[in-house]
Copies of this chain bind each other. A is one copy, B any other.
Amino acid sequence: MSTLLGDLPRLFPQPDQTIAGIGRAIREGRLTCVDVLRACLDQVEEWEPKVHAWVVLDRDGAIEQARALDEELKAGKDRGPLHGIPIGIKDIIDVKGLPTACGAKRWADRIAEDDADVVKRLRNAGAVIMGKTVTTPYAWIDPPVTRNPWNLDRTPGGSSSGSAAAVACGMCYGAIGTQTGGSITRPASFCGVAGMKPDKMWLWSSKGIKPFARSLDHVGPIARTVEDLRLLFEAMSEKRFLSIEANHYPPHEGPVKLGRLRGFFDRRATPAVLAALDDAARALNDAGAEIVELEDPVDFERILRDHRTVMAAEAAREHSDWLDQFPDDYPPRIRDLILEGRTPLALEYFQAEGRMSSSMFELLKAYEQAGRQFWITPATLDTAPDPSTTGDPAFNSPWSYTGLPTVSFPIGLAPDGLPAAVQISGSHLLDQSLLRAAAWCEQVIRTWQQ
């Protein structure tokens, strides 16, 4: 069985290494849910001692879930494309019966009494919850124990470190992360897998999820392909919200129209990352995508400052009292953020927070004026750095701040042998259009790379 996932990590997975492919195999009776889970557990055996992606692996519980899902299929009950798919849950999200440690020792014995709403949805859709994946402490940037499966001397990124690393080396087929700055798309990119930060307005319940900075917190999927992101996204979403977009914004016909942002992203990205994006852009262009290069329609440096003000103040809101009571729970970087968050005036916070929606509208206006549907940018400044850091979220935070949906996926290996990734960002609430466009781009790049 282990041959299923045995050649991971790799940029472009075999069909049976994807949720879409393995899901079909399960539902057509070619494999059982237990077979698929065992393949993942074999990968855990192989990789976990080196990668440290899991806080808790619920081996017995997962086998029990997989068996029950096999019984259901035998009895004719098919829960859909996630039926029997093993997934991991970031350890700031409650899974009933398992602890939610939030990357802090103090909480390691706190057993969740119920599933977070997002976990309930995934379970209802047939996912097998394998366990809890490593988060940086309280989902900030202090380095985690997790390492990058592509190179154990590199960081997997953060804060959804375990979620990205576990998916990358086949320990699970998908994982759920959260993002306040760049905590989904950055680790996904560093680990050579796909990540999605949905639109902020997606009204997923935050019940059972430890907040970090409430105005900026998002929940989203990590998987090996954009199609797999879509399957997880649809299972996480309320059907009535999906149908709003489906009814009001029918699938776009004709070529994908991309605006490539150059100023801020070109200044900050490394030459290797820019070269990878240039190659990808050429491949997309050759395949019929219409790409135009655009000046920055907003001041991204100002957005980063405002994002920082909002995040620090709101993190202090969650943690300031706890830091005083339990200083040992807080490693240096989150401690510094909380101290920083004690300093802004309410009015400064309001101003930084008030520019969130105006920045979004400026970006949307620029889309329209340029006749574009999506932005294309590098997903990260560089490939994964050494594990003393989790990398720079500067290319991800603007989408957390404005709330616009964004999808990242790998486009190739940089000269250092590590994955480089692209980020496609879309319009307000049009997550499904974005996923379709990103899947098309991913397919073009994969064909060109192979």
Contacts and interface: CB of A to CB of B under 8 A. Distances in A.
Interface of A: 313-314, 316-317, 320, 341-350, 354
Contacts of A350: 313-314, 316-317
Contacts of A317: 346-347, 350, 354
A344 B349 CA distance: 11
A341 B345 CA distance: 10
Interface of A is mostly: helix
B342 A347 contact: yes
B341 A347 contact: yes
Q: Which 7 A-B pairs have the closest CB atoms?
A: A346-B349, A313-B346, A317-B350, A344-B346, A346-B346, A316-B347, A342-B347
A354 B343 CA distance: 18
Contacts of A345: 342-346
Nearest to A309: B346
A95 to B, nearest CB: 27
5 contacts: A313-B347, A313-B350, A317-B354, A345-B345, A346-B346
A347 B347 CA distance: 11
A414 to B, nearest CB: 40
Given A313-B347, A346-B346, A349-B349, 14 more contacts: A313-B346, A314-B350, A316-B350, A317-B346, A317-B347, A317-B350, A317-B354, A320-B347, A341-B346, A341-B347, A342-B345, A342-B347, A345-B345, A346-B348
A314 B351 CA distance: 11
A348 B341 CA distance: 11
Contacts of A346: 313, 316-317, 341, 344-346, 348-349
Contacts of A342: 345, 347
A313 B349 CA distance: 10
Nearest to A316: B347
A41 to B, nearest CB: 44
A303 to B, nearest CB: 18
Contacts of A313: 346-347, 350
A343 B313 CA distance: 15
Contacts of A343: 345
Contacts of A316: 346-347, 350
A80 B58 CA distance: 62
- With a 10 A CB-CB cut-off, give which of A317, A344, A346, A349 has the most chain B CB atoms: A346
A71 B191 CA distance: 73
A343 B347 CA distance: 8
A313 B344 CA distance: 13
Contacts of A344: 345-346
A313 B350 CA distance: 9
A320 B345 CA distance: 13
A316 B349 CA distance: 12
Nearest to A350: B317
A390 B121 CA distance: 53
Nearest to A313: B346
A330 to B, nearest CB: 16
A344 B313 CA distance: 13
Contacts of A320: 347
A112 to B, nearest CB: 23
Contacts of A314: 350
